[in-house]
Amino acid sequence: MPHSGMRFVTGHIVRNEGRGGIFYRIEASIPEPVAFVPGQFAMVSGWPGNDPLLPRPLALFRSGGTRGKGTVEFVYKVVGRGTALLSGMHPGDPLAMTLPLGRGFDLDRDGRVYWLVGGGVGFSTVFPAAAALGRRRAEFEMFLGARTREELPPREWTPGESAPGRIHACTDDGTSGYFGRVTDAVRERLATVSAEDAGRLAILACGPAEMLREIASLAASRGAEAQVALENHMACGFGVCWGCVVAVREGDRTAYRRVCREGPVFDAREVVW
Amino acid sequence: MVTPDLSVPIGGLTLKNPVISASGTFGYGLEFAPFYDISRLGAIVVKGLSLAPTAGNPPGRIVETAAGMLNAIGLQNIGVERFVADVVPRLDDAGAVYVANIYGKTADEYEQVAERLSAVPSLAAIEVNASCPNVKEGGMAFGATAEGIAGLTGRVRKRTRKPLWVKLSPNVGDIAGIAAAAEGAGADAVSLINTIVGMAVDHRTRRPRLANVTGGLSGPAIKPVALRMVWEVCRKVRIPVIGIGGIQTAADALEFLLVGAAAVQVGTANFRNPRACVEIVDGIARFLAEERIGSVAAYRGTLAT
């Protein structure tokens, strides 16, 4: 049985493939299979030397394997030196990982209808949720946003094509799917939903901060639940550096909570935007 | 192969090995229990404790720099009472040797925290943080001058019988003089260096990268500075010197022992590799065994200049 205990492992890259020079998908072998909740992540490094010094947080995309032989996959976009170096690594190279980390999406309650919203590379966090919902035949729709067609996730990475979910692809420039921002598509779709159905809605979102803020306010306006997966600079990823905090409302006061430990998934109503 | 003796005496305390986790990089210690048996370390220094819980600085708090990182956390912590009530029993259960790093806005607050912790039987030592660059009051305000450090050390000394370590700032002109002032005021050991004040800005947005504007630089980038300062202080004081700054490997740790440090603290390396401290313990043992050196004591301070 794969276990969900946090661990630090050195695995080896099995494949590391780019798609259109934008998104990469990396798979590594690890000593034991890992079970994770969608939304959880890993701290990943492996490039030689001390620069950059820190590992990079990547959403856990998929895991598999059998006893004594696990695999784990991540999807990433090259945004800086760390991910650029990662994209240059080859099969056989070692990959150091601390995983699984953080608190993932709450997918457990019965009677909900799920909408998954992924902006940019944020799809790498919501696809595992779609896969989990698809496996248990839960009702969901997925909204994917990108600036332009080439930046939408590759179709073959989309989980469960046969699943009952509906996928709304959106591009800012109208080159594919809905012409406009993903939040506009969500707003329009939300307007078609009855108050009763909106109350059963759980919106799960990952993407740029501005998108998440808008999703939070859209959900609040219709009394829907929203769970947002936040990103931040992190040094450790497991709660000891206190570098990744975000301001969260707790009763009538605010407190700094760690994105890596109390998050990355937060109830959107708690976040001080 | 002989098994080398790794134990080191630190001001009235004998540690089973010279590897100590640095304050602010190791949480309250328990966070590392999933990765290894934390009782294997010479000691754990917990995150800086203040009298009352502290909220810390607003985000962004960290930024990566070349071979290092800047932080401006602002000593967010649960406060001394919750530490004693909730954390101490669990550290005891884990068999950990632990040291409390303490911090106050005023000398009074340092005294009160020290006094409260002195009543905790399993606490191995108190480390006075007179060097945090990221808080407006306390911290560096005491650590910047020999008079400041002597005054604070003397006052805390009167309130505790626990071994007293004083953690020094590198953001000073004469670190050896400041270490000597701590020694003169009753410190049992000095630990150095804390982070070096630095800053990072974004040339496009024209904004600082840290909300606090400036922060403390740590990581391998600061190791040469730390090594030089430890070497200078070792030549000046008689009390044990605990070397800190950019240690990532057993070789790094050995370099600090070579220039005279009695022990080392490992900080930022814990972020990249949660097993860094215990790997350094094993690496030191392996090196000494391979070199047929019987003990850390036999290796310490043997730099040929």
CATH number at residue A60: 2.40.30.10
Q: Which of B132, B190, B241, B264 is labelled catalytic?
A: B132
Residue owning tokens 């790498």: A124
Burial letters A120-137, b for 16+ CB under 10 A, else e: bbbbbbbbbbbbbbbeee
Kindly state whether residue A216 falls inside one of the protein's structural domains.
Answer: yes
Of B27, B76, B275, the CB nearest to A256: B76
The domain made up of B8-299 is a member of CATH 3.20.20.70: yes
- The answer, yes or no, to whether residue A164 has pLDDT greater than 60, is no
Give the B-side interface with A, CB within 8 Å: 24-27, 31-32, 34-35, 47, 55-56, 58-64, 66-69, 71, 73, 76, 219-220, 248, 268, 270-275
Strand blocks (E) in chain B? 8-10, 13-15, 19-21, 43-49, 62-65, 68-71, 98-102, 125-129, 164-167, 189-192, 196-199, 201-202, 207-208, 214-218, 241-244, 263-266
pLDDT at residue A104, rounded to an integer? 98
Amino acid at B177: G
For residue A238, the chain B residue with the least C-alpha distance is: B31
A94 and A141, same structural domain? no
Tell me how far the alpha carbon of residue B205 is from its chain's centroid. Answer: 35
- pLDDT of B130 reads 87
Domain assignment of residue A70, given as a range? 7-101
Q: What is the CA radius of gyration of chain B?
A: 18
Q: Does residue B184 have a pLDDT over 60?
A: yes
Q: Do B67 and A232 touch (CB under 8 A)?
A: no
Q: CA B25 to CA B14: how far, in whole Å? A: 23
Instruction: Search chain B and give the residue with CA nearest A241.
Output: B25
The domain that holds A170 is classified in CATH as 3.40.50.80
Distance from CA of A56 to the nearest CA of B (A): 10
d(CA A247, nearest CA chain B) in Å: 8
Point out the domain boundary residue: A55, A80, A101: A101
Interface test with A, best of B271, B275, B278, B279 (most A CBs within 10 A): B271
| Residue B195 pLDDT | 96
Say yes or no for a CB contact (<8 Å) between A256 and B25.
no
Please tell me the predicted confidence (pLDDT) of residue A2.
72
Mutation target for B interface from A230, A240, A257: give the one with most B CBs within 10 A.
A240
Residue range A39-61: average pLDDT? 96
Contact predicate A61/A128, CB 8 Å: yes
Residue A144 has pLDDT above 80, yes or no: yes
The structural domain count of chain A equals 2
Q: What is the pLDDT of residue A3?
A: 80
- A226 and A118 share one domain: yes
Query: What mean pLDDT, rounded, does chain B reach?
Result: 95
Residue B141: the pLDDT is 74
Q: What distance in Å separates the CA atoms of residue A267 and residue B248, rounded to the nearest whole number? A: 37
Q: Are A40 and A101 in contact (CB under 8 A)?
A: yes
Kindly state whether residues A123 and A224 are assigned to the same domain.
Answer: yes
Per-residue pLDDT band for A145 (boundaries 50, 70, 90) equals very high
Instruction: Collapse the DSSP code of A271 into the 3-class scheme (helix H, G, I; strand E, B; otherwise coil) and give the result.
Output: strand
Q: What is the pLDDT of residue B139?
A: 64
Share of residues in chain A with pLDDT > 90 (%): 86
Q: What is the pLDDT of residue B134?
A: 66
Is A253's Cβ below 8 Å from some Cβ in B?
A: no
Question: For A82-91, B40-49, B124-133, which range has the lowest pLDDT when averaged over its residues?
Answer: B124-133
User: Are residues A134 and A87 located together in one domain of the fold?
Assistant: no
Predicted pLDDT of residue A161: 59
Mean of pLDDT over chain A: 94
Is the domain of A120 the same as that of A220?
yes
Q: What is the pLDDT of residue B131?
A: 77
Quick: pLDDT tens for A222-261: 999 999 999 999 999 999 999 999 999 988 899 999 999 9
Per-residue pLDDT, B255 = 98
Nearest CB to A243; choose among B62, B67, B273: B62
Q: Name which of B47, B58, B64 is nearest A54 (Cβ-Cβ).
A: B64
pLDDT score at A136? 87
The reply to whether A258 falls in a domain is: no
Percent above pLDDT 70 for chain A: 97
CB contact under 8 A, B35 and A8: yes
What would the two tokens of residue B200 be?
A: 């990072």
* pLDDT at residue B244, rounded to an integer: 98
Per-residue pLDDT, averaged over B147-152, amounts to 94
Q: Mean pLDDT over residues A184-197, rounded?
A: 95
For range B83-99, the mean pLDDT: 98
For testing contact with chain B, the best of A6, A85, A245, A262 (most B CBs within 10 A): A245
Is a pLDDT exceeding 70 seen at residue A46?
Answer: yes
Tell me the percentage of chain B whose pLDDT exceeds 70: 97
- Is the pLDDT at B7 greater than 70? The verdict is yes
The alpha-carbon gap from B278 to the nearest alpha carbon of chain A, in Å, equals: 13
Q: Which of residues 155-214 of A touch B (CB under 8 A)?
A: none
Residue among A51, A235, A247 whose CB faces B62 most closely: A235
Residues B163-167, mean pLDDT to the nearest whole number: 98
Mean pLDDT of A20-44: 95
Query: What values do phi and psi take at B22, rounded to 5?
Result: -85, 145
Give the contacts of B169 (CB within 8 A, at least 6 positions apart). Answer: B130, B131, B133, B140, B143, B144, B192, B193, B194
The last residue of a domain, from among A46, A68, A101: A101
Q: Is A26 exposed, middle or buried (0-12, 13-18, 19+ CB in 10 A)?
A: buried
Which tens digits make up the pLDDT trace of B206-232?
999 999 999 999 999 999 999 999 999
A235 and B71 in contact by Cβ < 8 A?
yes
What pLDDT sits at residue A111? 85
Whether residue A267 is contained in a domain is answered as no
pLDDT at A54: 97
Q: Is the pLDDT of residue A158 over 60?
A: yes
**B234 noted as active-site residue:** no
Name every chain A residue with its beta carbon within 8 A of the beta carbon of B58: 247, 256
* pLDDT value for B252: 98
Are A170 and A190 within one domain? yes
Judge if A60 and A148 occupy the same domain: no
| Torsion over CA: B90, B94, B95, B97 (sign) | negative
- Whether A41 and A78 map to the same domain: the answer is yes
**Is A80 among the domain residues?**
yes
pLDDT confidence of residue A160: 67
